[in-house]
Amino acid sequence: MNEDDSFDLGDLLGQPEAAVPDTSKESEFLGESGLSVTGKARMEAAYGTDDGEGQDVAIVAQSATSDAGTIFHQVYRPWRGVLNPRWVRNWSILRHHVYGLFTKGHRPWPLTSKLIIVLILFGSLLPIFSLLLAVLTNIEFLMEFYGINRANLWGHVLGTFHNTCCWPLLTAVVVGGLISEDRQHGTSAIYFSRPVTRTDYTLMKYISAASILSLVIVISYCAYFAAGIILNNEGWAFLLDTTTYFIGGLVAAIMLVVTFTSIGLALSSLSTGRFFPAASFLGVIFGSRILAFLIQLLFDRDTMYLLSPYDNLAHTGQWMMGLNPTYDFPVAWSFVMLLVMNGVSLYVLISRVNSLEVTRE
Amino acid sequence: MTEDWIIQTNNLVKKYGEHVALDSVNIEVKPGATGLLGPNGAGKSTLLKTMLGLIALTSGGGKVLGHDIATEGAKIRQRIGYMPEYDCLTPDMPAIDQVRYSGELLGMNPFAATQRAHEVLEYVGLKDQRYRTISTFSTGMEQCTKLACALIHDPDLLICDEPSNGLDARSRKFMLDTLFQVVKQGGRSIIMSSHLMDDVERICERMLMIHKGQVIAQGRIEDLKAIDREIEIFVWGGASKLEQKLKDMGQSVRRTGRVMRITRIDDSTYGTIIEAAAQTEVQIRKMQDYEPSLEDLFIVIMDRLGYSVKSSSDLLEGATPAMDNAAAIQGRKVA
């Protein structure tokens, strides 16, 4: 071959040019195209085996003819495996939601949600850094302010800062789309056309949300308590003194997680999309508090705080940790209201999940 | 119950308040491909949900793959692959993860589900696209992903709800070919609900037609087509005269322009047609035995039920027209 000769891939492969199929119709996947795609042309283009002399035309990879072989053979392969029992299916739902926060291949959490969760986790761990600062500087005031005591442990779970800036926002981000997005995208059909019952579906969604909230709220609470012991080099006596109200705080934290998850999931089951459930959850938490606060200012009555999930939790938490209550009504009322709120939320959640369709939404 | 049947129901009744969604449904579905036909609101979705063991029946019962539909819903769904008509995929997930997750929901362990997800995505033609997020997929690719989700555990029975919905001609052909292969090559059974008679005819050997919650026809399509054999004639000049004459002579005639189809009673029907043509002085340009399509079968069945329909789209895609004869539906089951 000399430099004047035209050169194309057909010469290289020794195949007629006319046999190259029409690729003008762009198709997105093998099934649409009806073409066979071989690796031979690409290999020639990448690792040409001639001497390289006289080649003044670039080799461009092309689709080769069907004579050259076909990669796409549609062959049905049976599967002889065994399907595992119910708990494995339920575990896969939990894993799908929780692992999605950390790795790819599971529920695709939006990046903003992940960032907010990380920021809130960091914020909830700030008291540990403050405690470290207090220990290192040995300043009495800082030790009182950040040390382990009833008020600080209560404050970590039910204090105003965390319940204004952290936990409601965390819940809104986590719970917002858990069920509503299944309704929006019709993915509930994927669950219910399989041997997943509505009870399993609801329960595993609930546990998934509660687990993620617990990862931040309960774990940071325990970490704070542990840090207090380790950094101050406390002994068994301290542990015995503080264990009772630590457990009280732990129960309060679990109650907070349960209540927020119930309300959040109920709102999520009412809607399609992520925004409305998140916004309405924040509205319920903050709105009820603001309303109760305004009524207290105007009429000097604090009974309306019974309508606020946060205040009911705070009141019950104060009782469990042995703190002086800041509310005038009995703690039993708050506890009953918490039960009612959880009951109503779960009723809404269950009835709405029952309305999720398999065949049509 | 005969083991040959994959689905058998016995006087299945499902009521939603006063509304009767399924009315004494007795069906017997054999292995292979079966088409499920019926107008909107006929009860197809309710029947599919019943087959999946998802709804509580008002009365009656049945078995799917040998499992009781009232008490063994989970076992049934483990052996069924369901491909919904509507969107059921998470847009932000890659196809491979979506298919794997659908396998895990069936109880497959993650490693087996991942391996199988690769296999089925290759089978449905999405090998090179399996790592793309579903939101970037065309309708055809989404349908194929749904099919892959349904096939991941190699089900004994595949239920496809409008599998070719929204597909262009090329993707539709691929989807139908794939389903056909699942039956022929894979030896699996399919129940396919579709508005498109051509699709059902191409894939299925049997059909099941329901209307107003009742089964109005079921059996092999070829057998059902043989119910009314027709002679097709192309006439020239005076088609109306000939039509009238044939009707006067006691023949059943369907006419579209200059093409007429006369129900063949026996061999003497040919002579009767020629005699009528001679008497009315109308030319018969062509006469042949008519090979009916599923569309024709549908029209005949609807005609017997008292509906005046020109094509299946009159009933399947639009509102159900008023019956000419309300009583006609009673006791008029074709098979």
> Which pLDDT does position A71 carry in this prediction?
57
Residue B165 touches partner A, C-beta closer than 8 Å? no
Residue B333 within a domain:
no
The mean of the pLDDT values for chain A is 83
**Model confidence at A129: pLDDT above 50:** yes
The reply to whether B125 touches chain A by the CB within 8 Å rule is yes
Q: For residue A73, what pLDDT band results from cuts at 50, 70 and 90?
A: confident
Q: Do both B272 and B176 map to the same domain?
A: no
If asked whether residues B250 and B283 sit together in one domain, one would say yes
What is the average pLDDT across A247-276?
94
Best B47, B96, B106, B170 member to test A by mutation, with max A CBs in 10 Å, is B106
Chain A hits for B75, CB-CB cut-off 8 Å, are 195
Residue B1 lies in a domain: no
> Region A56-69: what's the mean pLDDT?
49
Residues B160 and B270 occupy one common structural domain: no
Looking at residue A295, its pLDDT comes to: 93
At residue B230, the pLDDT reads 83
For A32, the closest chain B residue by CA position comes to: B171
Across A72-86, average pLDDT: 86
The tally of domains found in chain B comes to 3
Instruction: Let me know whether B286 and B248 are in one domain.
Output: yes
Is the reported ipTM for this assembly greater than 0.90?
no
Same domain, B106 and B20: yes
- Per-residue burial over A288-314, b = 16 or more CB atoms within 10 Å of its CB, e = otherwise: bbeebeebeeeeeebebbbbbbbbbbb
B332 in a domain, yes or no? Answer: no
B325 touches chain A (CB under 8 A): no
What sign does the CA torsion over B139, B140, B143, B149 have?
negative
The predicted structure's pLDDT at residue A31: 56
- Check B89 against A79: CB less than 8 A apart: no
Give pLDDT tens digits for B286-297: 898 887 777 777
The reply to whether B334 falls in a domain is no
The pLDDT, as a whole number, for residue B329 is: 36
Q: Is residue B268 part of a domain?
A: yes
Task: Check if the beta carbon of residue B76 is closer than 8 Å to that of residue B52.
Answer: yes
Mean pLDDT of the region A315-323: 93
- The residue count of chain A comes to 361
Position B331 in a domain: no
Q: Which residue range is the domain that position B319 belongs to?
A: 294-323
pLDDT at B313 over 80: no
Q: State which residue of chain B sits closest to A93, comparing Cα positions.
A: B105
User: Chain B within 8 Å of A191 (Cβ-Cβ)?
Assistant: yes
**Which of B46, B78, B104 would best serve as a mutation to test chain A binding (most A beta carbons within 10 A)?**
B104
Q: Which residue of A has its CA nearest to B138?
A: A28
Q: Is B250 left (phi over 0), alpha (psi -120 to 50) or beta?
A: left
Question: What pLDDT does A37 receive?
Answer: 45
Q: Domain containing B266 — which CATH number? A: 3.30.70.100
Which helix (H) or strand (E) segment is B145 a member of? helix B139-151
- Chain centroid to Cα B266, Å, comes to 31
Q: Model confidence over B130-183: pLDDT tens digits?
A: 999 999 999 999 999 999 999 999 999 999 988 988 888 888 999 999 999 999
Chain A partners within 8 Å of B106 (Cβ) = 83, 89, 194-195
CB atoms within 10 A of CB B333: 16
In a shared domain, residues B286 and B298: no
Name the pTM for this structure: 0.80
| pLDDT, tens digit (0-9, with 9 covering 90-100), for B172-230 | 999 999 999 999 988 899 999 987 888 888 899 999 988 888 888 888 888 777 767 78
Q: Measure the CA–CA gap between B160 and B170, rounded to whole angstroms.
A: 19
What CATH number corresponds to the domain at position B26? 3.40.50.300
Contacts of B119 in chain A (CB under 8 A): 77, 79
Domain end among B203, B223, B243? B223
B249 and B207 belong to one structural domain: no
Q: At which of B183, B201, B223 does a domain end?
A: B223
| Least reliable range by pLDDT among A81-85, A143-147, B122-126 | A143-147
B163 in any annotated domain: yes
| Burial annotation A13-35 (CB, 10 A radius, 16+ → b, else e) | bebeeeebeeeeeebbbbbbbeb
User: Stretch A140-164: mean pLDDT, rounded?
Assistant: 86
Q: Among A3-7, B120-124, B259-263, which range has the highest average pLDDT?
A: B120-124
Residue B53 has pLDDT above 50, yes or no: yes
Among B101, B146, B171, the strongest candidate for a mutation testing the A interface, having the largest count of A CBs within 10 A, is B101
The answer as to whether B2 is a domain residue is no
Give yes or no for B147 touching A (CB within 8 A): no
Same domain, B250 and B182: no
Q: Are B272 and B260 in contact (CB under 8 A)?
A: no
pLDDT number for residue B68: 92
Helices (H) and strands (E) in chain A, counts: 17, 0
Residue A39 contacts B where some CB pair is shorter than 8 Å: no
Q: Which residues of A63-91 are buried (b: 16+ CB within 10 A; e: fewer)?
A: bbbeebeeebeeebeebeeebbeeebbbe
pLDDT at position A34, please?
A: 52
Q: Does B192 share its domain with B69?
A: yes
Q: How far apart are CA B43 and CA B41, in angstroms?
A: 5
Q: Is A354 on the interface with B (CB under 8 A)?
A: no
Q: How many CB pairs under 8 A join A and B?
A: 156
Same domain for B155 and B51: yes
Contact call for residues A281 and A171 (beta carbons, < 8 A)? yes
**Same structural domain, B92 and B192:** yes
pLDDT at A38 over 60: no
pLDDT band at A56; cut points 50, 70, 90: very low
Residues B54 and B35 in one domain: yes
Instruction: Find the closest chain A residue to B136 by CA distance.
Output: A28
